[in-house]
Structures are given as C-alpha cells and as structure tokens.
Structure 1
Amino acid sequence: MVVETRYVTSGEVFVAYQISGQDGPDLLMTPGFVSHLEQSWENPSIARFLSDLGSFSRLIRFDKRGTGLSDRGVGVPHLDERIDDIRAVLDAAGSKRAYLFGVSEGGPMSILFAATYPGRVAGLILFGTYARTVGASVPFDDFAALERTIRSDWGTGKSLPSFSPSAAAIPGAIDRFAKFERSAASPSDVINLMRMNREIDVTAILPSVRVPTLVMHRRDDVRIRAFAGRELGERISGARYTELSGNDHLPWFGDQNRLLEEIRQFMGVSATAIEVDRVLSTVLFTDIVDSTRKASLVGDRQWRSTLEAHHAAVRSELERHRGREVKTTGDGFLALFDGPARAVRCAQGIVSAVRPLDLEVRAGVHTGEVEMMGDDVGGIAVHIAARVAQHANASEVLASSTVKDLVAGAGLKFVDQGRAELKGLAEPMRLFAVV
C-alpha cells in the first residue's frame, strides 16, 4: 500500500505522519520506542495489521520526534513534547476527537494526553504497555547488559526474538527487522531513549483518566510483564482489562485477529460525550517573599509600581511557556499548564525575571486533577500546589514527586527535600527542589 507521508511542525520540530484507512472513527496509533512509517508497509505482517485497522477506522500514525521520518537530532523528547506532538498531528489531520491506541512505550504518552485532553479522546486503547518502566520491562532488569547489546547488535535484527519470538522463524524476518532498526534510530539514539524511558512513571495520574479505556496484554509478553497491564486495568477507573494468550510483544505478530476484534468491538460502542469539568493540569503557585515588610518600607505608591512590574514579568513568562493565568492572589499568581516541564521552567523564569525588581518569589508546582469552575479552578491539586509553594524558600521552586516523575528526560534537575506534612493531606508528600 502506498500512503502519503506528510509533515506538521510541533514547536520547531517536523513530525512525520500518515493517514490511511476508510471513513470511520479516527484512530491515532502511538508507536513504541522507535518506528518508521514507510518501513512498516514493507513488512507483510505489519502491513496486514495496519490495513485491517484501517478497514474500520481512519488510521492516523506518526513517528515520534527523534525517530523514523521525523526530525532527528532533537535530543531526548520528554512527555510534554510528546503530547504536544500528538496534538499537532491530530490538528493537522483535522481530527477533533479520536481513539488513542498506545503500544508499548506509546502507552504513557497516550495516558497523559487522555487525562489532559479528555474532550479530544473518544477512548483509550492500551496494548503491551505500563505506567512505569522499572520492574515492568524485562530488559531493564539489567540495564547495563541492555546497553551493551544495543551497542553491539543494533541494526543486525538480532533483537527480534526479544520482541516477538514467533516472528524470528519467519523467512526474511530478521533481515527486515535489521533494516527497520537502522532506519528508525541510531544506536546512540536508542540508548538515550532507553535511559529516559527507565525514568517514566505516570502511576500518579492513572486515576485522572476518565475516558473509556481498553487495556490488553499478552499473558507471557517477553518484553513487558503482564502485571503491568493488570495494574493499568485496576487503576484506571472503569477500564476493561483483557489478557490475551501468547508471548509476542509486538501487536502485529502472534494472534492479530483476536486483538483486532477487541479493538473493533471497543470502538463500535458509542462513546458518551464527556463533560469536561475535571481535567489533568499542572498547577503553579507563586508569591512574593516578605511582601508586607517590603510594602511598608517603600510606601503604597512605590509598592504599587513594583507590583505592576512584577505582574508584567510574570505574565511575560506565562505567555512564553504557554501557561494560563487563572488569577492573581494579591502578591502572587495561580496558573495552569498542560505540561509539567513547561510549568517548572516557567517558575524558574519567574524567579529570575523578578530579581532586577529587588524581589524574591517562591513557587510550588503540582500535577493533578483540577475542577474547572467557570474562570476559576478548584480541587485537591490546586490545594496541594498552594501548600507546596508555602514550603518553598525565597527564590526556590518546589515540585511534588508527581511532577518529578512526569518530567523524566526533560533535562530538569531536582534535589530531594524529603517528606513534608501538607495541611489537608492524610499522608506526607515528598518534595523536590528544582536546581
């Protein structure tokens, strides 16, 4: 099948995508750790799988930044950037609402997108994936050995049995997989991606997924242990978990028919429109340190002028990092972000931007569900972010453990501050200073 490859820009990066299939519900397939759109059609097993998906959907696929036909040499993409790419591809495809099909490493980014943009997700389909890599991925049990194997064998196809044992006996399969490896990513890219993937942990946001969800996992998956799929099924509210027989990690090998039928039936159920009044967001609180004393020293008029300059600096940083100002809190701000890394960097930018005004601010960042109440927001995530900010020192950005887990690979550095008692929470929360 000849399918046109198109490009869309996500920020400064070009992301390659394809649209195939028939008229039907939109289905966006989020690939595993590496992919190559055009190479996929050269493999008979993959081509059949994609054609069958396209027989009951408008299938949208893309290569993640740094792999395949998308821009290479863009560093190691973190989850913020990855969900930006999903949104950009959906927009370019003219898709207002789509089912997301997250395969292997594509699962966590699909989960995060579904929780953040529930109004754009008709349903979430997860296959052979996990909330956190550590403990779930068999190769990651000995990461040093995995790196050595990648350095010596990537591009030879020797890794195929560790993805799909049944495929290794197919004539020509090893050679095709070798070509795929060489086309999809270089050994260095693969190692860097693996290092980032071992830090991924979206466990904390699983309860925030409120779209219809189907979780499928092969019982003896050689790559990702089945308990990881069961955990997703248990922790995502209302999710349906289906355990399939077999040990192939890749969906297009082994029993394709059962998997395809499960997807078909799931997509055939009319999805109820979701009332988007609770969504996953990253909450940022800032406030000026020692503001009362400073105001009394300089007088009302000078303080009003200083506050105006402070507000302008904060709003400039919010605009630069795509934050949404919810309200000012006298001498501080409450803002929302659709990506935790942007929120942290915005907080750092604010700390730096107000120093020339002889001001110090502290900031708290937390990711969780917020309740949208007209122009205002509420919910436990907002309260947690406020409490985190209260624990910050002057010119310090404090983040919850949830934020730290979600920004793996973003190049941000943290120092563990230990557990803190936050008013209103039954259990202490571990906090991290951004450095």
Structure 2
Amino acid sequence: MPLAAVNGTRIHYRIDTAAGDSAPWLVLSNSLGADISMWAPQVEAFAAKYRVLRYDTRGHGHSDAPPGPYTIDQLTGDVIGLLDALGIGRAHYCGLSMGGLTGIALAARHPERFARVVLSNTAALIGSDAVWTPRAAKAREPGGMAALTDAVIARWFTADFAGREPLVLANIRDVFRHTSGDGYAANCEAIRDADLRAEAKTIKAPVLVITGTHDQSTAAAQGRELAGYVEGSRYVELDAAHLSNIEKAGDYTRYVLEFLGEQQ
C-alpha cells in the first residue's frame, strides 16, 4: 500500500495509467466521507490518457488521521507535498466537494503547479458553523459515523438512483461508516473555516465547474456563483445530486475528458 510522508502525515495514494510515462498527470481528490474508491467510475477512461494520481485526504481511507482541527492550508499543503514527493512538477486537478474546495485554494495559491482544474459539486464557501460544528461533534462520539450515515448518504444521490443502484450505495455507505470519526470531524472544521470567495476570483487557470441539479449539499446556484468568480470558466450542470461523478458517471467522465483535452 503506497504511502507518502507529507507534512508529518502519511498520505495513501494510488497511481493508474495506461497512457505511458510521458502522459500528463491528473490528480483526483475525494469528497468528505469518501476515499479514492469514489473515482472508480472514471479511472479506466482517465488512465487511458493521463497518469492518474488518486489520494485519500488526511483523515480518510488509509491516510493518517492526525489530531484536528485541520485547515485548508493543511489540505492544500498535503497535495503539494505529495506532488513533490512523487516528483510531479505540474498536473491537472479534479476534485469533488471537499476536494473541489481544496482545488480552489490550490489553483489560486499554486498556479504554476496546475494546468487545468475541475471543481465539481463544491463552492468557495460551503455551509456554516451551524452545520459543521454540531456534525463534527457528532462524528467524534462513539458510533457517531454510523449515526450520521443515513442522513448524509441520502443527500448524495437522488432517490431514483438510490433505488436503482443498491450495490453502489452499499459500497459508499461502507466507506463512510468506517471513516475515522476524528478525521471526518477535523475535515468538517477545515471546511467550516474556509472562505475562499476572494481567492477564487484570482484564479487564472482554465476551470470547469460541474454541479448537480438536485445537489442539496452544494447547490447548483453555488456552483454558478463559483463559475462567475473565475474569468473564462466553463459551467456544466448534471441531472444528479452531490456525487455527480457516480450518479452520472458517463456524462461526468466525458465532460472532464473534453475539457482536459482542449489545447491551451
């Protein structure tokens, strides 16, 4: 299991590629409460054209869950540190929800490291203290992640998709339920404290913003607002809820590949 020592934390990562050693790099960043497995619908298609680097955000999956709260500075620092550890100078980036929030900060603060950036089902300011502080407290309780599972997962997919794809939901639920409660809570606090609206307006890289029409966690209106902050950005809205890369996997994959494949 590949682990990189980054900022005093072991970050789990995985590299997939069928495109050869000269292909561009593409970094994929997971949603809060998910792990690298959430990108399974995209990996084969992405790896046919890119060297794909997936990683578990600190506090998730097989990465360490050091004491929190975490900050957006730490989440971005982990990505830059991982790139440095692997000798990757420049890459494309695609993040969803928390991964998208991280992507906003990366594109604004490290423009030399990222060519094209996909920000999906995210916003420059997500939620509020009234949402995140009680959720973090619940996650830290014994059995807290299991208690949060039903309410959170219900917001990630439309009822129609959930009814059609029980095995997909079972896998997602299993990952969420076994996420470190302390790690989840510390990331809730990082999201709570991150207001990137001013920074988003400084992004110069080509950006694609993807939203879900039925997303209750980061509404499509927030995605449109984010796209408005970034001059020249593209905006795509899918008939999906929060995890649009899973619910509308084919459309999501196609839009991302088309965007990344465009000439500068």
1:226 pairs with one of 220, 230, 239: 220
Cα distance, 1:241–1:71 mapped onto 2, change above 3 Å = same
Distance between the aligned counterparts of 1:85 and 1:51, measured in 2?
25
Deviation (angstroms), 1:71: 1.3
Map 1:24-63 → 2, pairs under 5 A: 24-37=23-36, 40=37, 46-63=39-56
Tell me the TM-score normalized by structure 1: 0.54
Contact 2:127 2:192 in 1 (8 A): yes
Q: Aligned residue pairs: how many?
A: 255
2:121 pairs with one of 120, 128, 132: 128
Q: 1:172 aligns to what SS in structure 2?
A: helix
Q: 1:130 is matched by which residue type in structure 2? A: A
Matched, 1:184 2:179: yes
Root mean square deviation, CA, Å: 2.5
Deviation string, structure 1 residues 234-290 (Cα, Å, up to 9, x no partner): 1111111122222x211332221111111111111123xxxxxxxxxxxxxxxxxxx
Cα distance, 1:142–1:149 mapped onto 2, change above 3 Å = same
> Which segment drifts farther, 145-154 or 60-69?
145-154
Q: 2:238 is matched by which residue type in structure 1? A: L
Distance between the aligned counterparts of 2:173 and 2:29, measured in 1?
22
Deviation string, structure 1 residues 310-330 (Cα, Å, up to 9, x no partner): xxxxxxxxxxxxxxxxxxxxx
> Which segment drifts farther, 208-217 or 251-260?
251-260
Matched, 1:238 2:232: yes
Deviation (angstroms), 1:22: 2.4
Contact 2:203 2:230 in 1 (8 A): yes
Contact 1:216 1:242 in 2 (8 A): yes
Map 1:6-85 → 2, pairs under 5 A: 6-23=2-19, 24-37=23-36, 40=37, 46-85=39-78
Partner of 1:356: none
Q: 2:177 aligns to what SS in structure 1?
A: helix
Distance between the aligned counterparts of 2:101 and 2:231, measured in 1?
16
Question: Which protein shows a greater Rg?
Answer: 1
Distance between the aligned counterparts of 1:148 and 1:12, measured in 2?
25
Q: 2:94 is matched by which residue type in structure 1? A: F
Contact 1:34 1:63 in 2 (8 A): no
Contact 1:128 1:221 in 2 (8 A): yes
Q: 1:183 is matched by which residue type in structure 2? A: H
Partner of 1:294: none
Q: 1:241 aligns to what SS in structure 2?
A: strand
Distance between the aligned counterparts of 1:211 and 1:80, measured in 2?
20
Distance between the aligned counterparts of 1:241 and 1:96, measured in 2?
27
Contact 1:34 1:64 in 2 (8 A): no
Distance between the aligned counterparts of 2:239 and 2:167, measured in 1?
25
Q: 2:257 aligns to what SS in structure 1?
A: helix
Cα distance, 1:94–1:194 mapped onto 2, change above 3 Å = same
Contact 1:155 1:178 in 2 (8 A): no
Q: 1:155 is matched by which residue type in structure 2? A: A
Distance between the aligned counterparts of 1:209 and 1:239, measured in 2?
10
Cα distance, 1:11–1:253 mapped onto 2, change above 3 Å = closer
Deviation (angstroms), 1:141: 6.7
Deviation (angstroms), 1:126: 0.7
Tell me the TM-score normalized by structure 2: 0.86
Q: 1:214 aligns to what SS in structure 2?
A: strand
Cα distance, 1:241–1:48 mapped onto 2, change above 3 Å = closer
Deviation (angstroms), 1:192: 3.6
Map 1:238-257 → 2, pairs under 5 A: 238-246=232-240, 248-257=241-250
Contact 2:35 2:60 in 1 (8 A): yes
1:110 pairs with one of 78, 103, 109: 103
Higher strand share: 1
Contiguous gaps of at least 5 residues in structure 2 = none
| Structure with higher RCO (Cα < 8 A, 6+ apart) | 2
Q: 2:235 aligns to what SS in structure 1?
A: strand
Contiguous gaps of at least 5 residues in structure 1 = 272-435
Higher helix share: 2
Deviation (angstroms), 1:154: 2.3
Cα distance, 1:96–1:191 mapped onto 2, change above 3 Å = closer
Distance between the aligned counterparts of 1:60 and 1:212, measured in 2?
20
Matched, 1:198 2:192: yes
Q: 2:154 is matched by which residue type in structure 1? A: P
Cα distance, 1:217–1:178 mapped onto 2, change above 3 Å = closer
